[in-house]
Structure 1
Amino acid sequence: MAYILRCIVCSMNSQLQPRILIHGHRGARGLAPENTLAGFACALKVGVDVLELDLRMSADGKIVIHHDRKLNPDLTRIKAGTWLTPPTKPLDHYTFEALQQFDMGHARPESSILKRFPCQTAWDGQTIPDLAMLRDRVAPALDDGLLLNLEIKSDPLKPEQGPTPTDWATTLVDELNTLGLINQCWVQSFDWRVLRQIHALTDKLPTGFLTSAQPDFDTITAHANSASPWLDGYDPAQFSHNLPQAIAAAGGHYWGPCFQDLTRSRVAEAQSLGLEVHTWTVNEITHIETMVDYAVDGIISDYPDRVRTVLAKRQYVLPTVFGD
């Protein structure tokens, strides 16, 4: 497998701790524009093990790196400098070529995004990239062992808004093979149907089963007196209400829970089943420290620099820094 298991890293320094992987969320969203080449380069300059990014599909069936279903007017300008105004169109109403007219290089002044991420540096001229553009931009880091954690955006509650799980899996596996990236990627999704389809196509892509049990986003609880549609039939109720057991039965390589859903015992339980635990999205120092105390295998953060600082203080092995 291409993914890095949490392990004792051989070193002459016997005091080094087991490795916890640093995932730069959407690149390094707290520091640079999300899901842009500049943002990914920023994460590499901080030093991450994994670049986490979101995948959607354009009107012409091209996989693109973008989070929201619709173009966000607080993040999107025509290259001439004009901000989009709502209502905006879904991403899959544009061909990949048409999407290149948009500049994603900084947030609208006074927007909630900029208030949430006040340290985010603007980089004008950033377009919506595809996987080939990302591969070419981060090639030296890939050669050194960098991993790409690809989140497929798919919603079983709104199937008309995207490709079928089969189409998603087939298109992605074909593209990763074509680009020579199949051994340097993980795939994660809240929609377990897509992950199960990937299992049917290849054993080279480690899969991360994302979950959330938060009031504003719950993928676990049953819907309308039936099992959650996110879980592809792997209802924890069938496994003594044990979510890690359901993921293990579904063939998952790791569990990707919201950090607020975790306890030390749940992490240990998942790991006892052979699952790694890579938790999201952990931004505050106190929360990062708690996740380290829980001995998770990876931390997904908008501020990979903060994760790196915590791990350095505790003498964990750190990833390579790329760039000036």
Structure 2
Amino acid sequence: MASACGRPAAAPPATLVGRAVLPAATFAPGPASGARLGPSPIHGQQAPFPSQPVQGFSALVAVGDGTYLALADNGYGKIENSADFHLRVYTLRLDPRTANGGSGAVEIVGHFELRDPGRAVRFPIVQQFSEARVLTGADFDPESMQRAPDGTLWFGDEFGPFLLHTSADGIVLEPPIGLPDVEQPGLELRAPQNPNNEEGAALRLMNALDWRARQRGATRPPVLSPHHAMVVDDEPGELGRELFDVKSLRAAGFPVVVWTVNEVARMHALMRLGVDGIISDRPDLLMKAARSFDGDGDGVPELVGADGLVRRDVIDLQGHRGARDLRPENTLPAMEAALDHLVTTLETDVGLTADDVPVLGHDPQLDPRKCRDVLGGETSRAVRALMIAELQRRFVCDGLVRGPEQTNERALSPVTVAFAGAEGLADPYTPPTLAQWLRFVAAYADYYSTGPGASHPEAALRAANARQVRFSVETKLTPEDDFAALFAARVSEAIAAAGVAERAWVQSFDLRALGHVQDLAPAIGTVVLLADGVNLPIGSEAPSPWLAGLWWPHGVTARTQPLRVATSGGFEGMALRSSPPALLPMLEKPVAGAPAGEVWVHEFDLSQRTYTGRRWVHRLEPRATAAADFQLDAEGRGFVIERDDSEGELGGYKAIRVLTLGAPGATAEVVTQIDLLAIADPHGLAPAVAGDVGVGEGRFAMPFVTIESLVLLPAERVLVANDNNFPFSVGRHRGDERPDDGEFVVLQWAPR
């Protein structure tokens, strides 16, 4: 049946026969949540919240005793801001307001949390290092839920998209099940947040380390430090394997400091990208880049303050091994050169001597090109085999190996010359201990404030910068070394003894060291170093020993495993077929390469625990942008909630459509059954409220951006509920901008 203009005829309006409301600001016991929502109130709601918000709900399942299982959405809409939101299923009892009475209230009877104590999930989760392993909104984004005939629960997720199978009380029973790509055997249909691609792995790793550190009292998040060619860059050309999304990591609260960059143009590109820090062998060029960077194009460089110092709250400029292209690396003259160029952080490598003293140096074996034995003995000696007294008595590390700018001219390092004499070091290039390095920085500040350097033109700048400069110490460990705990203890002790824990970080490619630092000295920050060929061995399926045994999808990237599923385009809806028993998850949005408006329904055989390879095509109504839920009735008819992205507008598109699947591979036949923006309310169950949209005058509408729960009831009735995206969505209360409540409405519809 069609109208005169050729469009489908409008469905008869459904009738509102029941309505229950759960207030938006409803909370349940649990840890604080919403720390990543920012300091400003959102629609009057101040985060972080003292406990767990109950809403919004993305799926409902009738229990049979008058209650419903209600799946809380994954948190706050993004993987980056939902690590402290526990994934829960609540039990609700509704008392809808009807023509015959009813309070219109929603009772929260109880809840259980999704959790993985048996470690079925192989990739790192937020609570990786706990026993209960409660799942969070940064681990999965469950949007659909069904209860199987055996009483277990199945969830359709959007991050994978995965099918997640749990016990009746939320314990994960088997590994998450990915979606095979029917058109490309051996591949899966994956979303950008899929943790089985390297692009989605870094955030998972950082979340796990951050949660572990915070349980021990840390207040600073770990820092991610990849090679600069591994960050996703908008610059023309490709510099390397671009895996790490700086914007995503920073939105999740993790600073990104890249290494090692020695060209001003590349420094500027990374500054435009928004990295939190840059490590360079050329602090002189790094400072030049900072002084000339004009990111907003207003003609005023913004990285250096009026006092002439780098704005360390905006960017961290780190001198790599001091200034290794200007002076021999990891020596006090190299540190002096870096300080002369006003770096905000001094970066160094540290080894451990035979008597367990941390000493500056990159190489496990002294390199004859860099270090010489003044007594004429064998130079190539293992640092771990030398006592600190012998090392400092015999070796001078002043070798020039880095190019024409590098020099070991002692006259250029007056602070080091003075400090070496005061410390009794044989030469300014004697390998210093970690403790001596930290003392040297204090001596540098004194030299330019009250000492011989006080008359230098930049004396005030140098002294002020040195008094607040930060320290980044890399532990030179490999997984074969059995003294990681001892190493971390000695480094932490030296930092604590110098009183600079709040200005110090320990970094490592070997995550064991970082874990020990978290245990021993949570006030010290940690930095995760990542690089191909070091702790990211391409092609290895085994958990990496460099990553403390945590799993990483080595070499699996968008090049080899494309990411075709749209963000927030996974299993928003999932029907349950009783015979033969199967799940029919529906993708919310078209995948890359599919025709516009075409979403797919796949078949998962519950008895065989596998996808069958059969699928159906559902074409969204042209005004729709997404399929928000999908259910089957006893006759095999499919009911789909479709929506556009409008909010608070009665002229938008929100509807329930009825489809017939037909043979696999065919396009489903569809008719529009219920217009959710044009519902009759003859009983006045939703009276007018000043400023509210879609209530009063005998009419009712659901003007929400997301309406995601559908339960088929007897006698041509349906229960529909919105996901209120707390605290963001304001579809109903447009007048006073209050966040949407959770609304549960029962509709009577007339079959077409």
TM-score range for the pair, normalised by the shorter chain length: 0.5 to 0.7
Structure 2 counterpart of 1:251:
none
Displacement of 1:26 after TM fit? 0.6
Which secondary structure does the structure 2 equivalent of 1:42 belong to? Answer: helix
Corresponding letter in the other structure for 2:431: I
Displacement of 1:75 after TM fit? 1.2
Corresponding letter in the other structure for 1:17: E
Aligned counterparts, 1:37-56, within 5 A: 37-56=332-351
1:89 aligns with 2:371: no
Corresponding letter in the other structure for 2:507: Q
Report the Cα distance in structure 1 between the residues aligned to 2:438 and 2:518, rounded to whole angstroms: 23
Match of 1:134 among 415, 430, 437: 437
Contact 1:227 1:233 in 2 (8 A): yes
Displacement of 1:72 after TM fit? 0.6
Report the Cα distance in structure 1 between the residues aligned to 2:350 and 2:557, rounded to whole angstroms: 31
TM-score, normalised to structure 2, is 0.27
TM-score, normalised to structure 1, is 0.60
Give identity over the alignment, percent: 28
Contact 2:435 2:494 in 1 (8 A): no
1:34 aligns with 2:329: yes
1:17 aligns with 2:312: no
Structure 1 counterpart of 2:726:
none
Question: What value does the CA root-mean-square deviation take over the aligned residues?
Answer: 3.0
Structure 2 counterpart of 1:151:
474
Structure 1 counterpart of 2:405:
119
- Structure 1 residues 78 and 221, CA gap change in structure 2 (3 angstroms): closer
Report the Cα distance in structure 2 between the residues aligned to 1:91 and 1:241, rounded to whole angstroms: 39
Structure 1 counterpart of 2:391:
99
Displacement of 1:224 after TM fit? 6.3
Corresponding letter in the other structure for 1:117: G
Corresponding letter in the other structure for 2:468: G
Corresponding letter in the other structure for 1:145: Q
Which secondary structure does the structure 1 equivalent of 2:468 belong to? Answer: coil
Structure 2 counterpart of 1:173:
492
Report the Cα distance in structure 1 between the residues aligned to 2:539 and 2:358, rounded to whole angstroms: 30
Deviations 1:102-125 (A, max 9, x none): 4435226xxxx2xx4221111462
Deviations 1:289-317 (A, max 9, x none): xxxxxxxxxxxxxxxxxxxxxxxxxxxxx
Contact 1:222 1:228 in 2 (8 A): no
Contact 2:543 2:552 in 1 (8 A): no
Corresponding letter in the other structure for 1:190: F
Which secondary structure does the structure 1 equivalent of 2:507 belong to? Answer: strand
Report the Cα distance in structure 2 between the residues aligned to 1:198 and 1:51, rounded to whole angstroms: 19
Report the Cα distance in structure 2 between the residues aligned to 1:103 and 1:173, rounded to whole angstroms: 26
Bigger fraction of residues in strand: 2
Displacement of 1:37 after TM fit? 0.8
Structure 2 counterpart of 1:307:
none
Displacement of 1:132 after TM fit? 2.2
Which secondary structure does the structure 2 equivalent of 1:210 belong to? Answer: strand
- Structure 1 residues 2 and 146, CA gap change in structure 2 (3 angstroms): farther
5+ unaligned residues in a row in structure 1: which ranges?
A: 8-12, 243-324
Report the Cα distance in structure 1 between the residues aligned to 2:409 and 2:390, rounded to whole angstroms: 20
Report the Cα distance in structure 2 between the residues aligned to 1:14 and 1:199, rounded to whole angstroms: 43
Contact 1:22 1:48 in 2 (8 A): yes
- Structure 1 residues 2 and 123, CA gap change in structure 2 (3 angstroms): farther
Bigger fraction of residues in helix: 1
1:189 aligns with 2:524: no
Contact 2:331 2:397 in 1 (8 A): yes
Contact 2:374 2:396 in 1 (8 A): no
Displacement of 1:20 after TM fit? 2.4
Match of 2:353 among 52, 58, 61: 58
Displacement of 1:241 after TM fit? 7.6
Displacement of 1:89 after TM fit? 1.7
5+ unaligned residues in a row in structure 2: which ranges?
A: 1-218, 224-254, 256-275, 278-297, 304-313, 411-426, 446-462, 559-752
Corresponding letter in the other structure for 1:120: Q
Structure with higher RCO (Cα < 8 A, 6+ apart)? 1
Deviations 1:26-75 (A, max 9, x none): 11000001111111011111221111000111111111111100111111
Displacement of 1:25 after TM fit? 0.7
- Structure 1 residues 195 and 59, CA gap change in structure 2 (3 angstroms): same
